[in-house]
Amino acid sequence: MATLFDPILAGDLSLPNRIAMAPLTRNRSPGAVPTPLVAEYYTQRATAGLLITEATAISHQGQGYADVPGLYAPGQIAGWRRVTDAVHAAGGRIVTQLWHVGRISHETLQPGGGKPVAPSAIRARSKTFLINADGSGSFAETSEPRALELSEIPGILDDYRRAARAAVEEAGFDGVEIHAANGYLIDQFLRSGSNRRTDAYGGPIENRARFLFEAVDAVIEGAGAGRVGIRLSPVTPANDAFDPEPQPLFEHVARGLGLRGLAYIHTIEGATGGARDYRQGERDFDYAAYKAAYRDAGGKGAWMVNNGYDAGLARQAVESGAADLVAFGKLYIANPDLVTRLRDGTALNAPDKTTFYGGGARGYTDYPFAA
User: In terms of C-beta density within 10 A (0-12 exposed, 13-18 middle, 19 or more buried), how is residue 51 classed?
Assistant: buried
CA 83, chain centre distance (Å)? 18
CA distance 230 to 242: 19
Continuous segment of H or E residues that includes residue 190: helix 185-190
The secondary structure of residue 142, as a DSSP letter, is P
Catalytic residue among 41, 72, 184, 332: 184
CA distance 70 to 292: 35
CA distance 26 to 365: 12
CA distance 144 to 83: 35
Catalytic status, residue 278: no
The secondary structure of residue 145, as a DSSP letter, is P
SS3 329: coil
* SS3 per-residue string spanning 57-121: ECCCCCCCCCCCCECCCHHHHHHHHHHHHHHHHCCCCEEEEEECCCCCCCHHHCHHHCCCEECCC
Please report, for residues 167, 226, 303, the alpha-carbon distance to residue 261 in angstroms, rounded to integers and kept in the order given: 19, 7, 13
Q: Which residues are catalytic?
A: 184
